[in-house]
Structure 1
């Protein structure tokens, strides 16, 4: 499985507008194409940030689904309204699953940690992360971007964890995320 961790920087005060539009128009339309949406979140520390997870069976499925979605009628009908809320939508990491979410119930806010490394993440670091009590663990995927119309961050050596646990590198970005009403990951 391939997962996108997408962080959108929005125009001030427009996050709830985007979330309302997203949950009304973009959830079912993506799921119908075989896309999974494990998490939709408000960043608890940044009122102008929307964070979400989007999953695909593999990179070929990603390409086909994104072509269908962004070439389809739902996106065409609502893209101007969605894009009007955004300053930046290019902060995207491609990830492979080490350990997926086993339970859709999470505390709020849920902690996501992006652990940055100077070299490729080694298997022993991945094993260490998998042994910790994280809710989920994902490893950077360095496949070629099969849908270049949507940029992804390249050259980043990362491990992404959800839920409480230790820092696994000397540089860690921590996100405190609150699931939205339509998030598959829900507050217990």
Structure 2
């Protein structure tokens, strides 16, 4: 990807929706909530359908910092676009509080996105892998990933789009909760389709040493979300 977007603070947001309402929300979101967030300094990174959870909508947005995040969220949620359409958006949702506040694991590990917003659909998928870390492993894990696990992923032919760790700074906009107790490492990859991802998973499972290097750092089993970007997502499959 071409260099162009780097957000030092990122939200990974997973919404649980009422049955049959995902496309309703996506249509509304892509029409009303993209440029109106970007106008107040929010980087709308990606909007996705979870391929294994038909009532889940997953999206990411970024900010230059925690202070600017607070200012931008106040501006957007107090602004005309959200005020006009919030009732319709909220009517699609059961829960919108599953939110991870993240920062790049290393200075160069954030998203790099091309200028502008792509036109048309995308056939590929994005994978979001979440590793929940033991408390004592959190501080040193980015270096473990960089020096041990990422080279193994490279040997398995896995592209790493971006990697993040929990941001433990204060949530300056408490009207939108985040999972403040989370200790996670989240990394993103891209595959042409589900079959390609499944082949990759088999290769990785058979790779000597990968699971053994990862397992001692984990508090619980990994979570992998297979995501299909919407037509207006900057993050593409």
Q: Fold match, TM over 0.5? A: yes
Question: Is this contact kept in 2: 1:44–1:109, CA < 8 A?
Answer: no
Q: CA distance change for structure 1 residues 71 and 121 in 2, over 3 Å: closer, same or farther?
A: farther
CA distance in 1, matches of 2:52, 2:130: 16
Of 124, 133, 140, 2:166 maps to 140
The number of residues matched between the two structures is: 187
1:181 alignment partner in structure 2: 231
Q: Which has the higher strand share?
A: 1
Backbone CA RMSD of aligned residues: 2.0
Question: Is this contact kept in 2: 1:9–1:86, CA < 8 A?
Answer: yes
Indicate the structure (1 or 2) with the bigger Cα radius of gyration. 2
Post-superposition Cα deviations, 1:97-140, rounded to whole Å, max 9, x if no partner, equal: 12112356997221111100120544542023235142110010
Of 182, 188, 201, 1:156 maps to 182
Alignment of 1:1-188 (within 5 A): 1-98=8-105, 99-102=109-112, 108-119=124-135, 121-131=137-147, 132=150, 133=154, 134-163=160-189, 168=214, 169=218, 170-187=220-237
TM value normalised by structure 1: 0.92
Question: Is this contact kept in 1: 2:113–2:234, CA < 8 A?
Answer: no
Q: Which has the higher helix share?
A: 2
